[in-house]
Amino acid sequence: MKIFSSKGRKFMAAALASVMFSASVAEACTGITLTAEDGDVVRARTMEFNVDLDASVILVPRGTQRTGETPDGENGLGWDAKYASIGANPMGLPYLVDGVNEKGLSMGLFYFAQAAEYQPYKPEDAGKTMASWQLGSYILDNFATVDEVKAALSDIIVAPVIFKQFNMVLPVHFVVTDASGETIVIEYVGGTLQVSDNPLGTFTNNPPFDWHMTNLQNYVNLGVDNVPPQKLGDVTIEGLGQGTGLLGMPGDFTSPSRFVRAAIYSHGVEASATGNDAIFQAFHILNNFDIPRGVAREEETDAHGNAVSDYTQWTSAVDTANKRFFFRTYENSDIRFVDLMKQDLDASGIKTWTMDGYETAHELGAPE
């Protein structure tokens, strides 16, 4: 199988040149979960990074053979995919960073630079070990529900394996949602597995998830209803237009601020009637987290003098009921999707759809 495209090889050269900056800036992804009135569950997210991830949409068929990686280069845990899955992969790799499987279980990988610390590795544990970037696909390949994932995680070791494309241990954590809407967060902190229930379905980056949930207590004053006029002596103070209930909501791109906004927006919107409606509602919400290239940057520049800045490379949403993966990209805001259940789930190998393409404006004709 051809793992890296020519564009991917160019990406790796750029990534290695700028790796000293990657760990500190590539942490601006935002995730939400919506449940429609008909019970369909949609999990959606943005993907930010400071170099082109050269992502595609891939179908991973049943029976795909996997081998976990270990810190000492020995073969790790081996498995064959029980379930087919579809989603986005980076750099031509055969692993998903976001996707859904044929049972409606979905997974998102998010950057976690300041807190991730994986489990200790011993050579005798090679047979149950894998790298951090492999865990998401392991989950989609093998399980149908969040409960199954919870039961299995203690049997594997996620070790500090060097991700060769960045020459670093890749610090990530995961959000997992099944078709019932049950959602968990998987983190490795201080060398220990931490699994947390996520009743809000909201997810960002640093610090660990439990900190974000505690931080919400700092914003109990916020609400989607406008604040009534206030009296100061004989003077009545009225709010300036709509949105007075959200005065003081943090508006920057830091992870804690995005978590607060995502929690409020995803639980303040009107409920969608169907899963299909919830897909488009999710994209509307995540419009608020779109980062234009250049506005969230490091002071340093890369080897070519270019600013190193996060930007929203793509936004995606998974329909857990109908097993469809939707996406739009920085270059093309048209929403496209692939329906997993219309594909050959027993295909002979991984199938790929490009995410490339540029947006065009369509001129309207003469009015009738």
For position 26, what pLDDT does the model report?
53
- Mind listing the pLDDT tens digit for each residue in 322-342? 999 999 999 999 999 999 999
- Mind listing the pLDDT tens digit for each residue in 12-48? 334 433 343 344 445 689 999 999 999 999 999 999 9
Helices assigned H by DSSP within the chain: 6-17, 19-25, 135-142, 146-153, 209-215, 255-268, 275-286
- Mind listing the pLDDT tens digit for each residue in 157-186? 999 999 998 999 999 999 999 999 999 999
For position 301, what pLDDT does the model report?
73
Say how far apart CA 316 and CA 182 lie, in whole Å: 19
Which of 198, 153, 192, 154 has the alpha carbon at shortest distance from 177? 198
What Å distances lie between residue 152 and 135, 185, 208, CA to CA? 12, 14, 21
For position 4, what pLDDT does the model report?
33
CB-CB contact of 92 with 54 (8 Å): yes
What is the mean predicted confidence (pLDDT) over 343-352? 98
Count of CB atoms situated within 10 Å of the CB of 52: 17
What is the mean predicted confidence (pLDDT) over 201-223? 96
Lowest mean pLDDT among 50-64, 98-112, 139-153, 304-318: 304-318
Lowest mean pLDDT among 23-37, 102-116, 227-241, 306-320: 23-37
End-to-end Cα separation, the chain, in angstroms? 54
Report whether pLDDT(305) > 80: no
Count of CB atoms situated within 10 Å of the CB of 333: 12
For position 171, what pLDDT does the model report?
96
- Mind listing the pLDDT tens digit for each residue in 118-160? 999 999 999 999 999 999 999 999 999 999 999 999 999 999 9
What CA dihedral angle connects 207, 27, 180 and 219, to 10 degrees?
50
135-142 and 146-153 are packed helices; what angle lies between their axes, rounded to 10 degrees?
120
For position 236, what pLDDT does the model report?
95
What is the mean predicted confidence (pLDDT) over 287-304? 84
CB-CB contact of 112 with 173 (8 Å): yes
> How many angstroms separate the most distant Cα atoms in the chain?
77
What is the mean predicted confidence (pLDDT) over 224-239? 93
CB-CB contact of 242 with 226 (8 Å): yes
For position 5, what pLDDT does the model report?
38
Number of helical H runs and strand E runs in the chain = 7, 23
- Mind listing the pLDDT tens digit for each residue in 269-284? 999 999 999 999 999 9
Helices assigned H by DSSP within 54-189: 135-142, 146-153
Residue whose tokens read 């920085």:
330
Q: Quickly state the pLDDT bin for 85 (edges 50, 70, 90).
A: very high
Report, as residue numbers or ranges, the catalytic residues: 29
- 346: which 2 tokens? 């027993």
Q: Quickly state the pLDDT bin for 1 (edges 50, 70, 90).
A: very low
Average pLDDT value over all residues in the chain: 91
